[in-house]
A and B are shown apart, each in its own frame.
Chain A
């Protein structure tokens, strides 16, 4: 890596952590107050059997919040980035599947019951947003070393030398 890039990379990773972590924390937290709506949002995709709807609707926000907190704090960054990428890839696929089948739903990404007024779907924007976040997550999984992180489990090459010299 060029010197300036090497110096900027940890800061870019910090920005990626804060962006992804913030989005996941908010997205997860907004789904907790109304569990019935969360279940309707999952059901609206018509992808899961009824027996898995509730557990998905209630469990997924916990994982989103956990991943968000880990990214914000900077612990287990690579694991959290990989988990976010997996979730985001799933969301992109699910929204695309809804779109392809002509369903009229809201993605329910930030809470809500998946309901949308007729003709008010926003699949294009939802997929674009999640795909962009997916790229950020993948980049963070590849280069997880960042500033202002509590973990330091994945320090930058430069920092490893610094640490072992102590």
Chain B
């Protein structure tokens, strides 16, 4: 073999070796970049998780010293109307902005009132406020706050009347909600007048309480309104959420 051919072969071997080394270096570098990038991304994700969880916890936390209305029952989030010794307990979960709740009130509200007046059942009204929008100026919260103010100063019978008035005059969903002035007027009609009620309505005194009430309803297993429970058992079928359905369920529970 001539020496020039040997040299050529050696050169090629060396070149191939260098190319392989360069490729290995590039590969190692890429891998290092991926690992570093992955670690950085993981750290950023963990930091973001912690920050968001803390921020959201603060946003949902309510002050322990927040005002609570008087005349509540069932752990502080319900207003009970009717004979305390009534055989059957009817739990109603409603949002004042919920159209299906208005439909139920329109069709079955009188029946419920009759069951209460007859002493067959007592009703526990559980307000919820989850249909706030900026367009309705947080109407769900303002309405429930006003109802709490009414009950707190004028008792649960006044709450019941105010509740009926608000459903009778429910603003349309997607509309602008009732104004605070209107809420004050209906409160007066329900029997709660005076500076205390008016101020509580305008200042949103029980706003934190409405948040807790909504959370409590969620903890009670309510995932939609209206929710009706007869002695703790929810009426789920559509034909049960009618005047006849509620009446039958209450009579059955009364035995």
Asked whether any CB of chain A lies closer than 8 Å to the CB of B252, the reply is no
Q: Which residue of B lies closest to A65 (CB)?
A: B48
Which residues of chain B from 121 to 137 have a CB within 8 Å of any chain A CB?
130
Asked whether any CB of chain B lies closer than 8 Å to the CB of A3, the reply is no
Looking at the assembled complex, report how far the CB atom of A162 sits from the nearest CB atom of chain B, in whole angstroms: 13
Asked whether any CB of chain A lies closer than 8 Å to the CB of B253, the reply is no
Tell which of B8-16, B53-61, B72-80, B152-160 binds the partner.
Answer: B53-61
- Contact string, B59-72, partner A, CB cutoff 8 A, digits 1/0? 11000000000000
| Chain B hits for A113, CB < 8 A | 130, 218
Given contacts A59-B53, A104-B236, contact A115 B38 (CB under 8 A): no
- Docked complex Cα distance between A103 and B221 (Å): 9
* Total A-B residue contacts, Cβ distance less than 8 Å: 86
- Docked complex Cα distance between A54 and B215 (Å): 12
Given contacts A35-B56, A62-B52, A153-B34, contact A115 B45 (CB under 8 A): no
- Contact B52 A117, beta carbon cutoff 8 Å: no
- What is the size category of the interface that chain A forms with chain B? 35 or more
Q: Which of A43, A58, A105 contacts B56 (CB 8 A)?
A: A58
- Contact B219 A50, beta carbon cutoff 8 Å: yes
Asked whether any CB of chain A lies closer than 8 Å to the CB of B3, the reply is no
Q: Which of B37, B52, B221 contacts A58 (CB 8 A)?
A: B52
| Chain B hits for A5, CB < 8 A | none
Asked whether any CB of chain B lies closer than 8 Å to the CB of A36, the reply is yes
Supply 27 A–B pairs (Cβ within 8 Å), ascending by A: A32-B52, A32-B56, A35-B60, A36-B211, A36-B214, A39-B60, A39-B218, A40-B214, A40-B215, A46-B221, A54-B53, A57-B56, A58-B57, A59-B53, A62-B52, A63-B45, A63-B49, A66-B45, A70-B41, A76-B37, A104-B236, A116-B224, A117-B224, A118-B100, A118-B241, A120-B224, A153-B34
